[in-house]
Structure 1
Amino acid sequence: MTHLGHPNKSSKTSEALDIALDLTVEGLEASKDIIVDALSVPGTGIAIDAVIGILKKVQAAKLNHNALKSLREEITLLMNMLQRLAKAVDTELPADKYPVNSAERGRAKEDVFKSTGLVKRVDTLARQLEAICADADKLLKRNRFSRFVHTTGDARAITDMKDKIAAARQAFQIEDDVITEATVTEALTRIKSIIAMQKAEEEERVLNSIPRADRAHYLSDANAMKARLQEGTRERIFESLNEWVEAQLLAAGDSTQPVRVLVGEAGTGKSTVASEFAKRLKEWGLLGASFFFTRGLTDLNSPTKFFSTVAWQLAQSQPVLRRPVVDAARQHLKTGALLQLEIQFKDLVEKPLSSLPEPHPPIFIVVDGLDECTEEGPQLVPSLLRLLLSAAVRPGSPLRVFLASRPEPQYIHDVFTTSDVKPHVSVTSIQEFRNTVDRDIESLIWARLAENTTSKEWSDGNPDAVYDIVDRSDGLFIYARTAVDFILADLDPTWIQRRYDALLRAKQAHGLVPLDTLYRTVLEGVFPPENRLPQMQEDLRHVLGYLVAVLDGKGISPRTLEKLTGMPTSESVPILNKLRSVVIFEQDNVDSRFRIIHATFREFLGDPARAGDDFYVNAVEAHGRLAEGCVSVMRSFAEDWQGTGTDAQARLILQYLTFDSTLFHFIYACRFRLKHLKLRRAPSQFRDRDSCQPVGADDPPPVAAFENFESYANHKSQKMSDLIRTIYAHIRESLPVGSKWTDTLAAMEELLAGRNFLPSDLISHMFIILDIRAVGNRAVWETAQDQTIRTLADLEDQWAPKLASVIKTAYDTGDYAPLRRAQCDLHKAIVAAGLTPGVQILYEE
């Protein structure tokens, strides 16, 4: 056995070791960039260069082969460690989810390496290896003069280098008994979770910035009455629709008829079919979006938010489209919120859809009530349809469209017959299923009458009554529903019979359709001519007018109506109680919102030839009364605002933002005053040029701030921000000299400057204002006991700097979530200290 350091080695062994060393150096050089790119920690490249330098210099010195072999093995262990660390990073940050050079990847690595102290440890490792490399350089220079004389000292020097590298590796790899790779992996998992949450929040903020009509969805409360499908009915229609869906699934991207249109007259149940179809598509995982137009309801009677709403729903229902819609929305919103239909379509719908791979499973969109698009309908609805259908008929498109509409207006159906669209559209008339409709209506009536004992006993004893109602319905589901609701308005058997007899006595005259006859019968049945004294007739006209003209899709309550128009609840509630077969209203409840059940009743009331002199509603007069009421409410609010202090003003803003019921009348005025002013025609008995003029520039700032906040998309009005900043300034001036809350309020004021915001963001501002006032008010300090003063001082010392830090984070990132959490914690701290907070907490994350 050769003594350590003895130069007598075979040339074959020497050659094999040289080859191994050469391959090791080549491997190190090849893996350097990979490791450096994966880790992105300053000093990593320096460390690897030092290792390569050590090997090259020691190899060139032609030293002891055994020592060289041990050194190579130790260096291999070191490099394997770095490679495992790089692999751990790449495994936790896969390139498909965290692309190279992406902000998310860079931030994750930066946060992890900082939190684990990896930067410092790499720097230490690099300096240690550079020192060892310097030792190797000395060894190389010395052996140039004694290349053929090897001593045991050289072997010991190499062994010493090996031991130093081993110590450096172990110090780097293990800290506090935890392996570095495990520490980094754990930290990356944690950071990724945080990044994912913040990314989701940021995406949600972008999506929530898209203007949309939330109540257009088939599940919204505005469509609740349309979702009343009687089980076991409409089976033939749904068999046909199911066949169409199956054909689309089989055809994938090569569908010949991606558009299905259901046509039917008013009251034939198209909306109910559309609602049930959307529900089934949702259950099958195929529904992308739904939009149910509704005549007379803001945002639902206009195409202006159609494509932006569809885009928002697609992002929610189709995970694969969420990121494309978010990215498209970021760019789109830089130009503006509510842009032209074509721009909305191209930016928010067409572009995200084009990102999907082909073929892609079908994505269905359900659109109901195109005929109820009364706002710029003739101008915009054809454009909407052409754009939507162009996306559906494009070869390879996954989009499938179901449309439901009346046969009129003609400009809707003209789009379906154009040469480029017609071959791709299947039009079905609901009348094709007429032979099953009577059976379905009969089933519906029997089911409704069986819901309580009295009406069931009456129907069992009068089976012909059901068939009479079926005959009079003439295929109209809305007739059958309304007729049964009218009959059952009073469950006294005598009144059930009387109302049924009234339906039978009603004769169609002057060419009126069955619904007109029904509506007149209902109104005359609950308001017979002999009971309609002049004042009663006037009150009835007003209530019917408000039913037609109120613009809030959810309706308004009698209490809100009283504050807006002065009509006492004692006058409106009895009338609404009697209208419950055609109006949604909870009996005797002054806070129950009322609205018309079906659009055909609104159309009936608005047509003098159909409603007659007794029930005809002049909508423009009703709009005039509501416009006058809105102006009066807003001016009264402005006057009250001027007479209140900053605390009261902050509370009013908080009530407004949290939709407090005591401010419903003011919120309604802010939202719809301008629209009522536009729709009103001021006859002489309503015209008051001063009272119905828009609030001018000389009026107090609150009026413009609140109205702008409601009128403009996404709450981007700077006026509300400026109003709150004014409150901040006033509160700062009222704080004791030297109060630490002063800086906090100043930071909050700066946070609002020039920023877009959501109502939830401003709610946090209002809570903080009121809670700071509760613990920082000068009067409290002057009158408080010693213990209370100490408690207040402790709260100020702890929370003023903490809030300032969180506010800075919100300012830098635009992320309000930490601020909301901090506000909740402050609120709890005030309560825990036995003090009274500025306001009762309304939400908690």
Structure 2
Amino acid sequence: MRLLQSNSDGSLTPTEFFEDDIPEYAILSHRWGPEEVTFRDLIDGTSKAKAGYNKIQFCGEQARRDGLEYFWVDTCCIDKSSSAELSEAINSMFRWYQKAARCYVYLSDVSIRKGKASDTSAECTWESAFRASKWFTRGWTLQELLAPRSVEFFSREGNRLGDKATLEQQINEITGIPITALREQHLSQFGIDERFLWAKSRQTTRGEDKTYSLLGIFDVHMPLIYGEGEAKAFQRLRETIDKPSYTLVSSSSSKKDLLRQLPNADKAPYNAYDRQDEPACLPNTRVDLLQEIYDWIDGKDGQDERCIFWLSGLAGTGKSTISRTVARRCSEQKRLGASFFFSKGDGDVSHAGKFFTSLAQQLAKSIPSLQRQICDAIVKQSDVANLSLLDQWRQFVLGPLSRLEERQQSYVLVIDALDECKDDNDVRTILKFLAEARSLETVRLRVFLTSRPEIPIRHGIRDIPQAEHQDFVLHDIQPSIIDHDISLFLEDNLGRIRQEWTLESNWPGEEALRQLVLYACGLFIWASTTCRFIREGKRFARQRLDVILQGSSSAVTVPEKHLNDIYLFVLKHSISSDYSDEEKKEACDMLKHILGSTIVLLSPLSTSALKRLLQVSKEDVDSTFNDLHSILDIPNDPVRQLRLHHPSFRDFLLSKDRCGDFWVDEKEAHQRLATNCIQLMSQALKKDICDIHAPGTRTSQVESSHLQECTPPEVQYACLYWVQHLQRSGSQASDGEEVHQFLQAHLLH
């Protein structure tokens, strides 16, 4: 594929790329005129003298504004003197438009300039010209409308008129193409005769092109034979489509597109990008427990009907680490069906809305023979996102699995931290449906499940016949075994710190390790938080270890007490001892404000978005978080989301008995966030915030990049969650004058 690159002197450089190396690019759609720039004109340097150069210049400038270095224009990116290159290009054209980051439609017969000064309807004149544009009558422009995800329309002056989403109603009325086809539904879902009807009244300069322009619409390849005539070309296309293999090939090519229609939680899998730094169990740790889990997976437990393994444990006992270890091993053995790691307050993985559809999408990838069954279910159901959990489970998971004809090997679903799913009723529903996996005959589905021993889960498990589940209580393991594993964990992590900072070969020493194991009191989260705290000390790592050893009581107490101690130690250490009492109080108040807001957020934000939402300075945020890396995952990139290393820190801050002066009043934190959201929306919201000029446009119809540009993350967060924060604060919308004023001014925005 040959792409153009604009140079600083205004010249254009054509560069050829092969399939795997093609960068992001923009693509132009237009009607050919009398003076188009050809590939030869580019090579000869005569392109600027032609009228068609203005369109190329427009495309390059618009691409640059959209952050794209390369762009493609059909007139000059194909060497039409080569019949082989022309044939390859026409057969690849649909795919090139489909893969373009942006498609710009240049309408040379649509102008936004006013007619007469007295014409009060002049602002709307472009729409009548848009409806009459000859672009909608040309053969090649049909695929240029349907193939790309992003299609933007521009007047001859280069002004943006709208895009395929915002103008879909007008385009539907002009072309007769269904709105569902304009919204990226795979074209194979539309009948062959219907697709031919879309092209019936369109014209091409050469008769054969009326057929060749439809190759991508029907997902077929054909050799080009110019001179064969329109009728012969059309006959060859029909013969290709009518071959028995066509339906199968078309169906196969559309499976991925159909599966993408399933709502998916991107952060759910064990190996999601956001989880890449989260550890698995170290070698020689959790040996007996992992072996028991693997024996259950293999059916060696003698209780083959036990389809659910429930691993319960207190906060910080290492459940998620075990889940990651099990999921990775199953994945390596090609036995992982799917995984879903819940996380409280983390968007799509904090609730059950996309739970079963995410499992279905992963199962389709893990079990190839299942793809057709799931795709058939998607085709039959037009509104996947709004289905009940029952219908999602039965139609996209249990139903397709039960219709598998050939006997399959066993597969494992790994569900971690079910207690962090925010609706207790959904938790019980999930457990009830997962137990139905026992009824499957052609595939054995095992469900490995972890959670804290919360009441909804205990009751849900109790409702499942005892013979169908196996339970393991993590905190019931013999203390000596847990201490051994924690010792290996500490030895490994502190050994890395020793190498990193070239400390003595015997550091930290056996006695220090023994004390640390004693202080951990069976909690892996204590050990991991301690290691992060020491590592963050960098060249002061030795001193930080000494302070922990001196500050902890040697008496064995309840595990929570030791976790409190390490969290309190980190928080106190983050406030400089050189501050005056007044400065310490101010720093503590700022820490509580920022941390309190962070832990009650209903969806994660980046540090840059958080500071704008809370209306605090970058310096305040940076200084507050500077020494908290041991308890918070703080990315170097300020636009990446901020996260807690472990949910136990949220529990700690919200408990007055546990954290003393650092206690966060949950209702007050929600009230402050509600106020911040309302203030931010009052400043940021306005009529037609995305400058679409098309009332009634849905958010889903607006290009994602354009939406992000007009409504940054903190504004989107405020719009989505201000009501929930207000509810959780215990306040009513009628209580505050500020709320009333906001609703009066912005409710319809």
Q: How far does residue 224 in structure 1 lie from its aligned partner after superposition?
A: 4.1
Q: How far does residue 575 in structure 1 lie from its aligned partner after superposition?
A: 1.1
Work out whether 1:312 is the aligned partner of 2:356: no
* SS of aligned partner of 1:271: helix
**Does the aligned pair in 1 maintain the 2:402–2:440 contact within 8 Å?**
no
The equivalent of 1:566 in structure 2 is 615
- Alignment partner of 1:447 out of 492, 495, 499: 492
**Does the aligned pair in 2 maintain the 1:291–1:368 contact within 8 Å?**
yes
Q: Which amino acid aligns with 1:262?
A: L
Against the structure 1 CA distance between its residues 658 and 314, is the aligned structure 2 distance closer, same or farther, given a 3 Å change threshold?
Answer: farther
The equivalent of 2:428 in structure 1 is 382
Work out whether 1:427 is the aligned partner of 2:478: no
- Alignment partner of 1:551 out of 598, 602, 607: 602
The equivalent of 1:299 in structure 2 is 348
* SS of aligned partner of 1:290: strand
Deviations 1:70-109 (A, max 9, x none): xxxxxxxxxxxxxxxxxxxxxxxxxxxxxxxx9999889x
**Cα distance in structure 1, aligned partners of 2:243 and 2:659:** 67
The equivalent of 2:631 in structure 1 is 582
**Cα distance in structure 1, aligned partners of 2:456 and 2:628:** 35
**Cα distance in structure 2, aligned partners of 1:401 and 1:233:** 23
The equivalent of 1:505 in structure 2 is 551
Q: Which amino acid aligns with 1:477?
A: F
The equivalent of 2:411 in structure 1 is 363
**Does the aligned pair in 1 maintain the 2:575–2:584 contact within 8 Å?**
no
Deviations 1:694-737 (A, max 9, x none): 96587386x4xxxxxxxxxxxxxxxxxxxxxxxxxxxxxxxxxx
* SS of aligned partner of 1:666: helix
The equivalent of 1:353 in structure 2 is 401
* SS of aligned partner of 1:299: helix
Deviations 1:660-702 (A, max 9, x none): 598232233344334333333349xx9972434596587386x
The equivalent of 1:236 in structure 2 is 288
The equivalent of 1:403 in structure 2 is 449
**Cα distance in structure 2, aligned partners of 1:364 and 1:579:** 37
Q: Which amino acid aligns with 1:427?
A: D
Work out whether 1:639 is the aligned partner of 2:683: no
**Does the aligned pair in 1 maintain the 2:483–2:517 contact within 8 Å?**
yes
* SS of aligned partner of 1:492: helix
* SS of aligned partner of 1:547: helix
Q: Which runs of 5+ in 1 are unaligned?
A: 1-101, 118-174, 704-845
The equivalent of 1:99 in structure 2 is none
Bigger proportion of residues as helix: 1
**Does the aligned pair in 2 maintain the 1:324–1:355 contact within 8 Å?**
yes
Work out whether 1:468 is the aligned partner of 2:515: yes
**Cα distance in structure 2, aligned partners of 1:212 and 1:385:** 20
Work out whether 1:675 is the aligned partner of 2:711: no
Q: Which amino acid aligns with 1:467?
A: R
Against the structure 1 CA distance between its residues 188 and 548, is the aligned structure 2 distance closer, same or farther, given a 3 Å change threshold?
Answer: same
Q: How far does residue 473 in structure 1 lie from its aligned partner after superposition?
A: 1.2
Against the structure 1 CA distance between its residues 104 and 693, is the aligned structure 2 distance closer, same or farther, given a 3 Å change threshold?
Answer: closer
Q: How far does residue 541 in structure 1 lie from its aligned partner after superposition?
A: 0.7
- Where in structure 2 are the equivalents of 1:145-156 lying within 5 Å? none
**Does the aligned pair in 2 maintain the 1:502–1:525 contact within 8 Å?**
no
- Where in structure 2 are the equivalents of 1:97-496 lying within 5 Å? 188=240, 199=251, 202-224=254-276, 226-247=278-299, 255-334=304-383, 337-357=385-405, 359-373=407-421, 375-377=422-424, 379-392=425-438, 398-406=444-452, 408-418=453-463, 421-430=465-474, 431-432=476-477, 434-452=479-497, 453=499, 455=501, 457=503, 460-463=506-509, 464-493=511-540, 496=542
Against the structure 1 CA distance between its residues 485 and 563, is the aligned structure 2 distance closer, same or farther, given a 3 Å change threshold?
Answer: same
Against the structure 1 CA distance between its residues 665 and 321, is the aligned structure 2 distance closer, same or farther, given a 3 Å change threshold?
Answer: same
**Does the aligned pair in 2 maintain the 1:262–1:428 contact within 8 Å?**
yes
The equivalent of 2:90 in structure 1 is none
**Cα distance in structure 2, aligned partners of 1:105 and 1:197:** 15
**Does the aligned pair in 1 maintain the 2:494–2:508 contact within 8 Å?**
no
**Cα distance in structure 2, aligned partners of 1:203 and 1:689:** 52
Q: How far does residue 271 in structure 1 lie from its aligned partner after superposition?
A: 0.5
Work out whether 1:691 is the aligned partner of 2:738: yes
**Cα distance in structure 2, aligned partners of 1:576 and 1:635:** 28
Deviations 1:292-327 (A, max 9, x none): 111222332323332222222222322222221222
Q: How far does residue 477 in structure 1 lie from its aligned partner after superposition?
A: 1.4
The equivalent of 2:77 in structure 1 is none
Q: Which runs of 5+ in 2 are unaligned?
A: 1-187, 201-207, 209-226
The equivalent of 1:601 in structure 2 is 649
Against the structure 1 CA distance between its residues 592 and 294, is the aligned structure 2 distance closer, same or farther, given a 3 Å change threshold?
Answer: closer
Q: Which amino acid aligns with 1:518?
A: I
**Cα distance in structure 2, aligned partners of 1:655 and 1:105:** 30
**Cα distance in structure 1, aligned partners of 2:678 and 2:485:** 49
**Cα distance in structure 1, aligned partners of 2:487 and 2:556:** 25
**Does the aligned pair in 2 maintain the 1:631–1:673 contact within 8 Å?**
yes
Identity %: 26
The number of residues matched between the two structures is 520
**Cα distance in structure 2, aligned partners of 1:662 and 1:485:** 36
The equivalent of 1:533 in structure 2 is 584
Task: Give the TM-score, by structure 2 length.
Answer: 0.61
* SS of aligned partner of 1:579: coil
**Does the aligned pair in 1 maintain the 2:306–2:470 contact within 8 Å?**
yes
Q: Which amino acid aligns with 2:473?
A: S
Deviations 1:232-283 (A, max 9, x none): 43333322222222227x99xx932222222222211111111121111112
**Cα distance in structure 2, aligned partners of 1:454 and 1:307:** 44
Q: How far does residue 188 in structure 1 lie from its aligned partner after superposition?
A: 4.2
**Does the aligned pair in 2 maintain the 1:677–1:692 contact within 8 Å?**
no
**Cα distance in structure 2, aligned partners of 1:346 and 1:573:** 48
**Does the aligned pair in 2 maintain the 1:269–1:478 contact within 8 Å?**
yes
* SS of aligned partner of 1:337: helix
Against the structure 1 CA distance between its residues 644 and 397, is the aligned structure 2 distance closer, same or farther, given a 3 Å change threshold?
Answer: closer
* SS of aligned partner of 2:496: coil
The equivalent of 2:205 in structure 1 is none
The equivalent of 2:671 in structure 1 is 624
Deviations 1:405-444 (A, max 9, x none): 22x21331233344x5211222223343654332322222
Q: Which amino acid aligns with 2:468?
A: H
**Does the aligned pair in 2 maintain the 1:459–1:466 contact within 8 Å?**
no
**Does the aligned pair in 2 maintain the 1:261–1:403 contact within 8 Å?**
yes
**Does the aligned pair in 1 maintain the 2:307–2:437 contact within 8 Å?**
no
**Does the aligned pair in 2 maintain the 1:305–1:338 contact within 8 Å?**
no
**Cα distance in structure 1, aligned partners of 2:741 and 2:388:** 27
Q: Which amino acid aligns with 2:271?
A: L
**Does the aligned pair in 2 maintain the 1:519–1:601 contact within 8 Å?**
yes
Q: Which amino acid aligns with 1:473?
A: A
**Does the aligned pair in 1 maintain the 2:416–2:451 contact within 8 Å?**
yes
Deviations 1:44-79 (A, max 9, x none): xxxxxxxxxxxxxxxxxxxxxxxxxxxxxxxxxxxx
**Cα distance in structure 1, aligned partners of 2:262 and 2:343:** 21
**Does the aligned pair in 1 maintain the 2:413–2:447 contact within 8 Å?**
yes
Q: How far does residue 229 in structure 1 lie from its aligned partner after superposition?
A: 3.4
Q: Which amino acid aligns with 1:416?
A: I
* SS of aligned partner of 1:457: coil
The equivalent of 1:834 in structure 2 is none
**Does the aligned pair in 1 maintain the 2:280–2:322 contact within 8 Å?**
no
Deviations 1:1-31 (A, max 9, x none): xxxxxxxxxxxxxxxxxxxxxxxxxxxxxxx
Q: How far does residue 365 in structure 1 lie from its aligned partner after superposition?
A: 0.7
